[in-house]
């Protein structure tokens, strides 16, 4: 099972920032062996076919793998599939995530338990279980990196200063709060994910694993609703996030291990 390529597993790799990360890897001069994680093998295969058309001629290898964050059975099966093909993983990119908040905080109040439980199950618990499952392969790498994709909305420091993000309408006095988009389930789950990252940073420090959370910035993905509407609000191209993740994978931000990385530095806690 010897493999001289940099072996990566990226979850949620068939859409959005995950898919753009696959293309960024393909454009790199570094040869990668990329396990393209998606909820089904068919979705992974479709993403691979499209990516190789958009970025032809790469020396990297892509393989689809089915991995569903809300299913322990799926995660265990993905491990068995990958473990049978390679002797290690050099980088694990915990990219897959989901938001279940609506566009109206007043409506969300009625569905808070479902919104929060689903967000935590995918973004926090599922991500933690994937990490714990694949650690035995990760620590076999000579230069392992563990990446968690968080959000600019996860910062407690910014939220402590004002209702956040800055462009959001400020809540007025009274109840209910019409016209307010709080995304509270998503925000809370990503803040919790930062704690997960910190714990894995310390747990694996003596194994030589460099662990990061990446805050890719305000990007126009389906996760945030209508990508075109987000672009009109100033959201950037998801390819920016893909290139950022590739740079961290290739060691360009190793000095900032154990922190939440932004494009221009580090994000406040």
Which residues have a catalytic role annotated?
A: 151, 186, 190
Q: Are strands 91-94 and 6-10 parallel, antiparallel or unpaired?
A: parallel
Q: Tokens representing 183?
A: 């995304």
Does the bond joining 165 to the residue before it have cis omega, within 30 degrees of 0? yes
Candidates 187, 109, 102; CA nearest to 151 is 187
Token pair 């009274």 in the structure block, residue: 174
As a dihedral over the C-alpha atoms of residue 81, residue 85, residue 89, residue 94, rounded to 10 degrees, the angle is -30
Q: Where are the alpha helices (DSSP H) in the chain?
A: 16-27, 41-54, 72-83, 105-110, 112-120, 127-138, 156-161, 184-203, 227-232, 238-249
Query: Helix, strand, or coil here: 34?
Result: strand
What does 3-21 look like in DSSP terms, one character per residue? --SEEEEETTTTSHHHHHH
């Amino acid at each position: 099972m010897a493999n001289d390529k940099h072996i990566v597993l990226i979850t949620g790799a068939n859409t959005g920032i995950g898919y753009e990360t696959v293309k960024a890897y393909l454009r790199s001069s570094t040869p990668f062996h990329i396990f393209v994680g998606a909820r089904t093998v068919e979705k992974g295969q479709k993403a691979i076919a499209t990516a190789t058309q958009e970025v032809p001629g790469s020396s990297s290898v892509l393989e689809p793998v089915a991995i569903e964050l809300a299913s322990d059975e799926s995660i265990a099966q993905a491990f068995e599939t990958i473990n049978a093909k390679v002797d290690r993983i050099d980088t694990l990119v915990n990219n897959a995530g989901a938001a279940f908040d609506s566009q109206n905080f007043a409506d969300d109040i009625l569905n808070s338990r479902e919104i929060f439980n689903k967000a935590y199950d995918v973004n926090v618990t599922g991500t933690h279980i994937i990490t714990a499952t694949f650690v035995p392969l990760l620590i076999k790498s000579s230069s392992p990196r563990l990446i968690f994709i968080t959000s600019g909305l996860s910062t407690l420091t910014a939220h402590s200063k004002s209702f956040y993000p800055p462009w959001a309408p400020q809540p007025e006095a009274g109840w209910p709060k019409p016209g307010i988009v709080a995304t509270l389930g998503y925000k809370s789950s990503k803040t919790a994910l930062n704690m997960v990252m910190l714990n894995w940073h310390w747990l694996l420090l003596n194994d030589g694993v460099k662990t990061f959370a990446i805050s890719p910035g305000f990007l126009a993905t389906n996760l945030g609703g209508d990508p075109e509407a987000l672009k009109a609000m100033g959201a950037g191209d998801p390819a920016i996030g893909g290139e950022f993740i590739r740079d961290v994978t290739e060691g360009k931000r190793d000095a900032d291990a154990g922190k939440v990385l932004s494009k221009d530095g580090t994000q406040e806690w």
